[in-house]
Structure 1
Amino acid sequence: MLLLGIDIGTSAIKISVVDASTQRCIASYRYPEQEETPILTPKSGWAEQSPDTWWEHVQQALLRLNQKRLYDPLAITAIGIAYQMHGLVLTDQYGNSIRNAIIWCDSRAVEIGARAFEALDAATVLTSLLNSPGNFTAAKLAWIKSNEPAVYDQIYKVMLPGDYIALKLTGVVTTSISALSEGVFWDFKKNELSKALMDYFGFDRNMIPDIFPLFSEHGYLQKSVADRLGLKDGIPVSYKAGDQPNNALSLNVLKPGEVAATAGTSGVIYGISDELVHDPYSRINTFAHVNYTENDPIVGVLLCINGTGILNRWVRDQFGKDLSYEAINDLASEIPLGSEGLKILPFGNGAERILQNKIIGAQFVHLDLNRHQYKHVFRACQEGIVFAFRYGLDIMRENGMIPQIIRAGKTNLFLSGLFKDIFVNITNVPIELYENDGSVGAALGAGIGAGIFKSPEEAFRSAKPLEIIEPKKDLVIAYENSYQEWLTILNRQLI
């Protein structure tokens, strides 16, 4: 019995086929293979992608993986979808996308969200929505209503990226409490779609899809699509979740106190709580986790840094275009801790929530043209990214989230020995690294939603850490000194 997982990333689509009996991936594919899906920036601070490009890439990835003949496509029994969070996808009554998606790192709606936060009373918003509307999905929809009224008038349904791909597969559009919470539409106190927010923005309730349990059958594969993709028609899409809740699921991070991390295009620490916590400044955000229910309100507390892997890629493109990431990591390791004074603020990918939605840009500070080389830039880049993680983790600690260990997939920046070393010593928290992949997590999520597994714990029972890395006291002290220098620079920018 096989399961298909689809991960709609910012850089690419990743798909995996998993054997339900062993919970092991037997085949996977990334599309595009080498290049990255572009982020369209019509104006400064804007970030868009085409939903139809995602759909085309999903199809290409699956067709090419089928051609490898590593499995029987007709043996796939359920489909799960993970997706980049907070995006806004708009469709007409025929299920067609009517404009590019406004994606997670777009900053155009910050002021709209801020005005709503004050108008609806900040304290009330935080205790009901747990977040400021900020530049999340609801505020992006309000931007469309205000700035593109002709587009707004065409809207039949509002959805997130994963909902759109499920729609293309099944012809049905659904949502979940978790999805609505990440769009900042959900009232946690009343456990319903927020009437106050919908009325404030003047949104029509009919634009919101029907609400289904996250682990449930959200629709069934259409015959025309099944024939085109070589799959069996009628199999369910039985799981849809944002990439960070999905990453936590795939690391078996489900219980209060457990914490997951990722370091891809963005960087995230995601901790689990059974309390409806909120940060008074909305610097970190709380969403319904994959196992949230009204009777057992398990939430994920999310710290996000937009400028993570995207900065690392930019640095490679500018200073080491012909080098592999492995070679860059080796060169960075030749430079001593602290990068001989060079500091990088990694905040060049839109409004940063941990900075209260300020846009300060990425910055190089204390660059010495007589001393610093490209190798210093490579190291200062990774140090700056982890310093941003530490800055955000301290905000989480202020809000009662104090991790004893952090689980992460051995992928992206966590492939770098230097990055791992900096991470554990600047946070002073051990990390466990797992064989982890968003598309594999989505496939196993599909197995839970389809009833193949009785519980999430059963689906991930075979997961074992590949590596455990502990902080070292002398390095914790040395990195703390370097971090305080970086923090002084950041604080000057925030005055």
Structure 2
Amino acid sequence: MYFLGLDIGSSSTKASILDAATGKSIASTHYPKTELTISAPQAGFAEQAPETWWDCIKQACQELFSLEQVDPTKIEAIGISYQMHGLVCVDKNQQIVRPAIIWCDSRAVEIGEQAFNQLGQEKCLKQFLNSPGNFTASKLKWVKDNQPEVYQEIDKIMLPGDYIAMKLTGDITTTSSGLSEGILWDFENNSVATDIINHYGFEQNLIPTIVPSFGDQGSVSQQAAAELGLRAGIKVTYRGGDQPNNALSLNVMQAGEVAATAGTSGVIYAVTDKNVYDSASRVNTFQHVSSTPDNNANGVLLCVNGTGRLFSWLRSIVSVQGQEVSYPLLNDLAKDVAIGSDGLSMLPFGNGAERVLQNKNVGGHIQNLDFNRHQLGHMVRATQEGIVFALKYGFDVLKDMGVSSNVIRAGKGNMFLSPIFVEAFVNSCQTTVELYETDGAEGAARGAGFGLGYYSNRDEMFKGLELCAQYEPEASKVDAYANAYQNWKKFLQKSI
């Protein structure tokens, strides 16, 4: 028996097939092999055609199912992970009425801020655990105000994962976890956020039927089966946004457990059983996929936009005429540079407005560059320390909220492949870091097995997930990183 996991990102779609008995991935792929295009018809806009995501799934499945070791007739359930906060709009015939407004689109910032003040900041934080911000509900309000003719065509709104579930099953559904990421869930009343809906003047019937994150979410239709090379009737049994799903893929399911990622952006995601929020809205609280009516579980999400993006930018500017410098070579140049980079500091905030800085767009900065002392190795270390210190800055917010941990789990990939990054992270945050070989598509496949009922508990669900590395703080380095962080923090305070 197999489970199929689909992870729909803004860069590509990943697909993984998990062997139910062993808990091991037997095959995985992604499509396209280069990054998907994000359309920006105006400054601050970011859109994609949802049909493109479906085409990517078809291509990925075609590749997977052509492999000798894969028998698609053995797939019994499908799980979906997806890019969070997007807005997909369809008419009564389930046809797209406009391109999807995706997570990195910033057109609705002012709309959300105005609603935050008009509804009352205390009310929003207590009921929705967030400001309406630049999330899905505010994006829909932008459509209503600026494209009224399009708004009139809308029969249902969806998140990207809801759209993929619709394409698979023909049914339009969503989850309470998904609604919470769109600021469309009322945590106080455990219901759809009617106060937001009424304030923005939306029709209640725009919200799809709610299904559990784990469980029966419909069956693969004859049409979808023919397009994907599957048999009809396979159950869709799991759905989660990319960050809650990343936590699930790392077995971060209960209060007190914390996950991290450090790809293009960096995220620390802490699970709590409390309805907590940050009064300054520097981090966001959403309903975790493991939440049930009997066992409350929320995920507090810290995001720094410019983590891996900063390191890739540095590599690009030192690469000449298509001759790319490798990340291992850059790390090798920095391995003997002292902690603190001989006074060189970098702020990694050059990838848009940062929530952790209360939506300020301060840009990237370099401080104390000395042409006679600093070499490329210093730049490499200062870059990675700057990324870690930005995450540490947000991690302290989580600590103040009482949702931190002494152990953080992460996938062995992206920035966590860098020894310098891992050392700086462990000793700055003073936490143990556990690294696992997994990804979002594999996590979605595990979720599908749990939602089907094949796995009845966490031990069964995460069989096959193996710890591949563990790092502990080193007493000889903690103070040096603490001093470097304080210098970096002073630099930040002068820049915001």
The TM-score bracket by the shorter chain reads: over 0.9
TM-score, normalisation: structure 2: 0.95
1:143 CA drift (Å) = 1.6
Secondary structure, in 3 states, of the residue corresponding to 1:52? Answer: helix
1:343 aligns with 2:330: no
CA distance in structure 2 between the aligned counterparts of 1:422 and 1:275, rounded to whole angstroms: 30
Contact 1:106/1:350, CA 8 A, preserved across alignment: no
Mean CA deviation greater in 196-205 or 330-339: 330-339
Partner of 1:31: 31
| Cα distance change on mapping 1:15 and 1:71 into 2, 3 Å | same
**Per-residue deviation at 1:313?**
2.3
* 2:173 is the counterpart of 1:174: yes
Structure 2 counterpart of 1:487, one-letter code: K
> What residue ranges of structure 1 are gaps of 5+ in the alignment?
none
Q: 2:368 aligns with which of 352, 366, 369?
A: 366
Q: Report the CA distance shift for 1:91/1:368 in structure 2 as closer, same or farther (over 3 A).
A: farther
CA displacement 1:155-209 (0-9 Å, x = unmatched): 2211111111111222222111100011111001111111111110011111111
Cα displacement string for residues 48-100 of structure 1 (whole angstroms, at most 9, x for unaligned residues): 33322222111111111222222101111111011111111222222222323
Q: Aligned residue pairs: how many?
A: 493
* Structure 1 position 86 matched with structure 2 position 85: yes
| Contact 2:44–2:105 (Cα < 8 Å) also in 1 | yes
Matched residue SS, 2:85: coil
> CA 1:66–1:276 in 2, change beyond 3 Å: closer, same or farther?
same
Give runs of aligned pairs for residues 366-405 of structure 1, distance below 5 A: 366-405=368-407
Q: CA deviation at 1:369?
A: 4.3
1:335-394 deviation per Cα after TM superposition (whole angstroms, max 9, x unaligned): 332233332221222221111112222233333445444443332221111111000001
Distance change (3 Å), C-alpha of 1:309 and 1:450 = same
**Aligned residue type for 2:213:** L
SS in 2 for 1:40: coil
Tell me the distance in 2 between the aligned counterparts of 1:52 and 1:325. 34
Distance 1:27 1:420, change over 3 A: same
Q: Is contact 2:258–2:404 with CA below 8 Å preserved after alignment?
A: no
Task: Check conservation: 1:11, 1:265, Cα contact below 8 A.
Answer: no
Q: Which position in structure 2 is the counterpart of 1:3?
A: 3
Provide the alpha-carbon RMSD of the alignment. 1.7
One of 430, 447, 450 as aligned partner of 2:449: 447
1:329: Cα distance to partner?
Answer: 2.7
Cα distance in structure 1, aligned partners of 2:212 and 2:268 = 25
One-letter code aligned to 2:406? Q
Secondary structure in 1 matching 2:386 = helix
Moved more, 267-276 or 145-154: 145-154
1:299-314 to structure 2, matched below 5 A, reads: 299-314=298-313
Q: Distance in 2 between matches of 1:329 and 1:10?
A: 28
Shift of 1:237: 1.3
Q: Return the offset for 1:46.
A: 2.8
The yes-or-no answer on 1:102 pairing with 2:101 is yes
Equivalent residue, structure 2, for 1:45: 44
Bigger CA drift: 109-118 or 319-328?
Answer: 319-328
**2-structure distance, mates of 1:208, 1:441:** 27
CA distance in 1, matches of 2:67, 2:338: 45
The question of whether the paired residues in 2 share the 8 Å contact of 1:390 and 1:427 is answered with yes
Is the contact made by 1:346 and 1:388 (CA closer than 8 Å) also made in structure 2?
yes
Q: Could you tell me the TM-score, scaled by structure 1's length?
A: 0.96
Instruction: From the superposition, tell whether residues 57 and 427 of structure 1 become closer, same or farther in structure 2 (CA, over 3 Å).
Output: same
Query: Which residue pairs with 2:142 in the alignment?
Result: 143
Shift of 1:400: 1.1
Matches within 5 A, 1:219-238: 219-238=218-237
Relative to structure 1, the CA distance from residue 101 to residue 368 in structure 2 (aligned partners, 3 Å threshold; closer, same or farther) is: farther
Offset of residue 334 of structure 1 = 4.4
- Decide whether aligned partners of structure 1 residues 456 and 307 sit closer, same or farther in structure 2, where only a CA change above 3 A counts: same
Hey, what's the Cα distance between the residues in 2 that align with 1:401 and 1:447?
A: 29
Check the 8 A contact 2:87/2:160 in 1, yes or no. Answer: yes
Q: Which of residues 381, 406, 409 is equivalent to 2:408?
A: 406
Code of the aligned partner of 2:68: R
TM-superposed CA distance for 1:228, in Å, is: 2.6
Aligned to 2:15: 15
* Distance in 2 of aligned mates of 1:120 and 1:164: 30
Letter in 2 for 1:96: Q
- CA–CA separation in structure 1 for the residues paired with 2:224 and 2:435: 37
> What secondary structure does 1:466 align onto?
strand
Aligned pairs for 1:141-290 within 5 A:
141-290=140-289
Deviations 1:125-164 (A, max 9, x none): 1111011111111111112222222222222211111111
